[in-house]
Amino acid sequence: MSGEKARIGFVTVSDRASRGEYEDLGGPAMRAWFARVLTSPWEAVSRLVPDERGAIEQVLRELADEAGCCLVVTTGGTGPAPRDVTPEATEAVCEKMLPGFGELMRQESLKFVPTAILSRQTAGVRGACLIINLPGKPSAIDDCLNAVFPAVPYCIDLIGGPYLETDPDQCRAFRPKHATNGDEKRAHGVMP
Amino acid sequence: MSGEKARIGFVTVSDRASRGEYEDLGGPAMRAWFARVLTSPWEAVSRLVPDERGAIEQVLRELADEAGCCLVVTTGGTGPAPRDVTPEATEAVCEKMLPGFGELMRQESLKFVPTAILSRQTAGVRGACLIINLPGKPSAIDDCLNAVFPAVPYCIDLIGGPYLETDPDQCRAFRPKHATNGDEKRAHGVMP
Amino acid sequence: MSGEKARIGFVTVSDRASRGEYEDLGGPAMRAWFARVLTSPWEAVSRLVPDERGAIEQVLRELADEAGCCLVVTTGGTGPAPRDVTPEATEAVCEKMLPGFGELMRQESLKFVPTAILSRQTAGVRGACLIINLPGKPSAIDDCLNAVFPAVPYCIDLIGGPYLETDPDQCRAFRPKHATNGDEKRAHGVMP
């Protein structure tokens, strides 16, 4: 699928940004990271939703099932406050959860702030789409993407998505030796 | 809410201690830690229950909903044995789980004993109450509280509880710069 | 129970190995690790199943309930691909989950490959049987067993299984001081 444009969903979850009371900083920060790092062709599909579980679930399903995104990243709504429901919405739409993403993002954020343990960020797979929750704060978005993204292209290979390539000076994507290109990978099957 | 006394629940979960066959060491160890660390006004609400899921759930609900505790800490019942059901009871009464607490407590305990991975400690939020499972052993209680407590006062801010303050020589509570007092924090909203 | 032979279940989960298209390397790698490390009497009960959730659940139940295994280790099926369902099958048959095993195995594997976060390995308890998911790759199996096994004999003590002993030059099993033998351990009760 090397010639095809990968579609990547960017979801900002914020009551205030969705009411226009607050500029959405998380969405642009996520897109800027991908613009700097990805070298294979891709296009952004952006959404802005309030902190409502139903609305978040709906937009995640739409991006995975209708827009054909191989990857959706969210920003916001992962804390302990009553309106923070992004992880619950993510878990509700995913068939399988990947707890290692949340573990590593919290561990990475713990290097900067002890309140990193309050983040409930998670990741999971819906069909051929990987969904990852990122923090709300732009600088923390970069820290988390730098930490987990090396595993993302291979994950997308495994769920049947397009072959993503990165600028190794920005972020070194890792694939096991038996999976150096999409066809070879499929011939060898699943193997993390 | 600075003038108000924070209520903190201390729950010892132990068949033998609840039958009087064994002195409760975990409860006093938890209270001693808070007496040493908290500088804002607070009072203890203590309970002792057997390792019965229903009894634990009931006491957690009572402390959160009726006694008005902003924080409940438990000791005991987090291992793999058949009678260890504290994490299940905690999850059953919480609206949202905070996996980062268990991850960090296990990681901290792993510095001392390889059996730290047998602990199923977790934390979660019920209404305006944060519930945290601690180990049974007094020295391990201190290690776990030292590890996670820096994030606790800000978590309680975010769920609408009283403003807790600590002796920074004992435990340095962390709040993001935009959240240096309760009112300012509420104006800025949720942000881990 | 020192005189009794411990039964250990080895489950290879693989569509291709179960169809005979592929040699099962994971099963022999797991058994070789135990042959090198365990010094107390034990015997292997081996199974090979396709990546079908129902088939995996059935074999786990059979090994725990009928074959009387105190420990079952699985290899394969823990990744994010559609056919990877070993963690779901494990969770479905266990009464309690032990998240610390998956956390530590991912952390250990992260020292070697950034794709370690794609592993969904977990562990749990069914009756008197501990079930642990291991990776598919033989070298990663060894890394994961070296990381978590020091806690396994004491876990099996706590759930009422036989007293496992290891060659301390290969893997140092850890038991708290109050639990240096099975009888003493039972007298002191559960205590991680």
ipTM of the complex as predicted: 0.92
CB A104 to CB C88 under 8 A?
no
Strands C6-13, C96-97: pairing kind: unpaired
- Average pLDDT of adjacent 10-residue blocks, chain C of 192 residues: 81 95 96 98 98 98 98 98 98 98 97 97 98 96 98 98 97 85 41 40
Tokens linked to B7: 């209520």
- The reported pLDDT for the residue numbered C180 is 54
- The reported pLDDT for the residue numbered A177 is 85
Beta carbons within 8 Å of B14's beta carbon, 6+ residues apart = B22, B24, B26, B48, B50, B51, B76, B77, B136
Low-confidence residues of chain A: pLDDT under 50: 1-2, 181-192
Chains that contact C by 3+ CB pairs under 8 Å? A, B
Q: What is the DSSP string of C30-66?
A: HHHHHHHHB-S-EEEEEEEE-S-HHHHHHHHHIIIII
Q: pLDDT (tens digit, 9 = 90+) per residue, B19-46?
A: 999 999 999 999 999 999 999 999 999 9
Closest CB to A103: pick one of C83, C106, C113. C106
Q: Which amino acid is at B21?
A: E
CB C110 to CB A104 under 8 A?
yes
Site from A91, A94, A96 to mutate, C interface, most C CB atoms within 10 angstroms: A96
**How far apart are the C-alpha atoms of B87 and B73, rounded to whole Å?**
12
- Give me the helices (H) in chain C, please: 15-18, 26-37, 53-61, 86-93, 99-110, 138-148, 152-158, 182-188
Task: Give the H/E segment covering residue B156.
Answer: helix B152-158
Tokens linked to B100: 């980062």
- The reported pLDDT for the residue numbered A143 is 96
Q: Which positions in chain C touch A151 (Cβ < 8 Å)?
A: 114-118
Angle, CA of A40, A147 and A35, to the nearest 5°: 30
Find out whether A123 and C126 touch, Cβ atoms under 8 Å: no
CB B117 to CB C100 under 8 A?
yes
**How far apart are the C-alpha atoms of B29 and A143, rounded to whole Å?**
37
Q: Which positions in chain B touch C122 (Cβ < 8 Å)?
A: none
Tokens linked to C72: 């079952």
Q: Which pTM does this prediction carry?
A: 0.93
User: Quick check: B2 pLDDT over 90?
Assistant: no
Residue in A closest to C109 by C-alpha: A192
**How far apart are the C-alpha atoms of C12 and C73, rounded to whole Å?**
9
CB C100 to CB B116 under 8 A?
yes
Average pLDDT, integer, range B69-74: 98
Taking any CB pair shorter than 8 Å as contact, residues of chain A touching chain C are 96-101, 103-104, 125, 130, 148, 150-151, 154-155, 158-160, 174-176, 189-192
Residue in A closest to B147 by C-alpha: A114
List the strands of the sheet with A129-134, edge to edge. Answer: A42-49, A6-13, A71-75, A129-134, A123-126, A96-97
- The reported pLDDT for the residue numbered B3 is 55
| Number of neighbouring beta carbons within 10 Å of residue B168 | 10
- The reported pLDDT for the residue numbered A179 is 67
Could you report how far apart the first and last alpha carbons of chain C are, in Å? Answer: 22
Nearest Cα to Cα of residue A72 among A23, A15, A7, A154? A7
Nearest Cα to Cα of residue A122 among A58, A77, A153? A77
Q: How many CB pairs under 8 A join A and C?
A: 77
Find out whether C133 and C112 touch, Cβ atoms under 8 Å: no
Nearest Cα to Cα of residue A151 among A179, A175, A182, A121? A175
Q: Roughly what angle, to the nearest 10 degrees, separates helices B86-93 and B53-61? A: 40
Tokens linked to C132: 């642990």
| Number of neighbouring beta carbons within 10 Å of residue B35 | 11
Nearest Cα to Cα of residue A174 among C117, C90, C74? C117
Q: Which positions in chain B touch A14 (Cβ < 8 Å)?
A: none
**DSSP-assigned letter for residue C150:** G
Q: Which positions in chain C touch B84 (Cβ < 8 Å)?
A: 96, 190
Tokens linked to B99: 């996996």
| Number of neighbouring beta carbons within 10 Å of residue A68 | 17
Closest CB to B99: pick one of A120, A135, A137. A120
